[in-house]
Structure 1
Amino acid sequence: MRALAAARPLFSDLPSRLRSWLPPSSSSFKTFSASSSSPPSDSDLRNQSRGGLPRFFSDDLPSRKGGMVRVQGSEFWHMAKVLRLKAEDRVELFNGKGGLVEGCIQNIDKTGVDFVAQEDQKVILPQGIQWQVFAAFGTLKGGRADWLIEKCTELGASSVTPLLTERSSIISDNRVDRLERVSFAAAKQCQRLHQMVVSPAVKFNTLLDHISKSKLCLVATAEATPLLNAVQSSAKESSGLLIVGPEGDFTKKEVEMMLEAGGTAVGLGPHRLRVETATIALLATLVMWSDSQETD
């Protein structure tokens, strides 16, 4: 990914700018109990979004204290065979949609675990701008695409969509399936409660439709305004698009079409960046920027 060479380095004054962005509270979630509408304290938010208990995925969650669900498959294997948990051990279940419930293992047999809730289910709502990443990473090899998906998951991207362009025109369906598994594992590791969506690849013309419907769309490309300068004048929105081109960058025609559709070109410094590096640099900077908007 080739970046703007003529502009001053983007990150030369980044530490001082980031200090002005950092919110006074480390929490980035809102939460409420299924049985209560009272607002939680900051400590409640931190405990509920990043608890100390082992956490496992389940499509079904008990909504009330005392409710029970059965956990089977790979999550059962992880509980019983990897962590060797036993009856009465406390764990948490989440559903990838913000639902979280604390409880304990009531029974373990050869096919599954019976989980009983010790409190009502909580629903934690995502905060800040929901970034949708479109990146042309179909040609990446050697685990680089896995790394991109893993880090986007950890940083809180709402979705990642492989982008098909003139210089990156193919990605296999099997690879997308693998990337979904990578994202799921990363969500568990970082204790993220909203699972990132790995969408099927889209063609460039479809991307233009997304850009035209978005109020906030940033396109990483050469010869553009430095990112931090560009976002200072951006209006506060609930979602936004981040677009990163392939190895060798977008063609001149592709850039022109994206800007005509409503995108804003942004530069990522003076050096040529790999696709995955540009994606993570763009996302990480904007996650911190959007978090700072929540405190304004």
Structure 2
Amino acid sequence: MQALSWSPRFAVAVNRSCRKASSFRAFSSDSSNQSRGGLPRFFSDVLPPSKGSAVRVQGDEFWHMTKVLRLNTDDRIELFNGKGGLVKGCIESIDRTGADVVALENPKLVSTNTTQWHVFAAFGTLKGGRSDWLIEKCTELGASSVTPLLTERSPSISDNRVDRLQRVILAAAKQCQRLHEMTLNPPLKVRDLLPIVSQSKLSFIAAAEATPVLNVLTLSKQEPIGSIIVGPEGDFTETEVKLILEAGATAVGLGPHRLRVETATIALLATTMLWSDTWRSTI
């Protein structure tokens, strides 16, 4: 999955006069349609620092490149590092352990999206791939981070599941052409969430029979950053809800029906992201 090393080699098909020094060109998030390219895209911790230099792709990404997509030498691809870095490259050589990819241009650095919504959801007890689905859709919708919330009715999440969710995030980022990986934070207890809520300009907690979320947003000052909070199956306890509301969160309703944790999370995230995008279009 990682590119473990880079070398200042020069491919025959690449301009030999390329500079060895790193040269990142900055693009604003609004003009960064480079994130919608049509080339196969692969993750690499390390990008070639300049046109003509190379990195070695190994592990899961190498397997996907050569065994799933069956790419070969001279095929063009894109590499991204999950931090906004993107570069077009060409597969120079392949052996049993990895592929060497030569940069066809200087890497680009795309700035992070100004819309940043942070998800706090109690999904530790979800089964049957439902937590995978939640994380995948949060990544696609553009959540800045997801934090597993530990509550009385969802007190834990296994380490093995967290490792799997990291892989889900990477796969979803590649699929939706997202250049900045979503952060999966360590699990957090409700009491540790309270300072975050109190310091946030906007925090919404999904609650039964609360004012509909669209009504609340209509009356709220538009902000590009905020938090959404969703309880576990069986919901928060009354004490937990009281603590979160007293810390400064606003209760919002998501309709007349009882929703699953993952449904409520995605419904609230999609609504707030679209609302924030409307804010961005007016500035």
Please classify the TM superposition score into its range, dividing by the shorter chain length. Answer: 0.7 to 0.9
1:65 corresponding residue in structure 2: 51
1:254 partner letter: E
How far the C-alpha of 1:127 sits from its partner, in A, is: 2.0
Alpha-carbon distance between aligned partners in 2 of 1:41 and 1:132, rounded to the nearest angstrom? 21
* In 1, Cα distance between equivalents of 2:51 and 2:264: 45
Query: Is the Cα contact below 8 Å between 2:197 and 2:227 reproduced in 1?
Result: yes
Does the C-alpha gap of structure 1 residues 98 and 143 become closer, same or farther in structure 2, counting only changes over 3 Å?
A: same
Q: Find the partner of 2:132 among 143, 146, 150.
A: 146
The alpha-carbon distance between structure 1 residues 41 and 280, as it changes in their structure 2 partners (threshold 3 A), is closer
Q: Are 1:290 and 2:270 matched, yes or no?
A: no
Match of 2:154 in 1: 168
Name the amino acid aligned to 1:284. Answer: A
Instruction: Provide the secondary structure at the position in 2 that maps to 1:291.
Output: helix
Measured in 2, the distance between the counterparts of 1:137 and 1:37 equals 37
Partner of 2:122: 136
> Does the 8 A contact of 2:197 with 2:249 survive in 1?
yes
CA distance in 1, matches of 2:114, 2:254: 22
**Which amino acid is the alignment partner of residue 266 of structure 1?**
V
Q: Which residue identity is paired with 1:55? A: R
Shift of 1:140: 0.9
| Matching residue of 1:89 | 75
The question of whether the paired residues in 1 share the 8 Å contact of 2:75 and 2:91 is answered with yes
Give the aligned partner of residue 76 of structure 1.
Answer: 62
Aligned with 2:100: secondary structure?
strand
Give secondary structure in 2 for the equivalent of 1:56: strand
CA 1:163–1:70: 2 relative to 1, 3 Å: same
Offset at residue 34 of structure 1 (A): 4.6
Report the Cα distance in structure 1 between the residues aligned to 2:119 and 2:27, rounded to whole angstroms: 34
- Is the 8 Å Cα contact of residues 128 and 290 (structure 1) preserved in structure 2? no
Identify which of 213, 218, 222 aligns with 1:227.
Answer: 213
Q: 1:128, 1:291 within 8 Å by CA — same for their partners in 2?
A: no
Q: CA deviation at 1:171?
A: 1.4
The within-5 A match list for 1:1-296 is: 34=23, 36=25, 45-46=32-33, 48-296=34-282
Report the Cα offset of residue 239 of structure 1. Answer: 2.1
Structure 1 residue 236, shift from structure 2 partner: 3.8
How far did residue 262 of structure 1 move? 0.9
Separation in 1, partners of 2:35, 2:25: 17
TM-score, normalized by length of structure 1? 0.83
Q: What is the alpha-carbon distance in structure 1 between the residues aligned to residue 150 and residue 121 of structure 2?
A: 8
SS in structure 1 opposite 2:154?
coil
Using the alignment, how far apart are the partners of 1:41 and 1:268 within structure 2?
30
Q: Are the equivalent residues in 2 in contact too, given 1:34–1:123 (CA < 8 A)? A: no
Amino acid at match of 2:220: S
Deviation for aligned residue 1:37 = 6.0
One-letter amino acid of the structure 1 residue matched with residue 55 of structure 2: V
Same amino acid, percent of matched pairs: 67
Closer, same or farther: CA 285–111 of 1 in aligned 2, 3 Å: same
Q: Distance in 1 between matches of 2:35 and 2:121?
A: 28
Measure the CA separation in 1 of the matches of 2:281 and 2:209.
Answer: 32
Q: In 2, distance between residues paired with 1:138 and 1:38?
A: 38
Equivalent position amino acid for 1:63 in 2: P
Supply the distance in 2 between the matched residues of 1:99 and 1:60 (Cα, whole angstroms). 9
Unmatched 5+ residue regions in structure 1?
A: 1-32
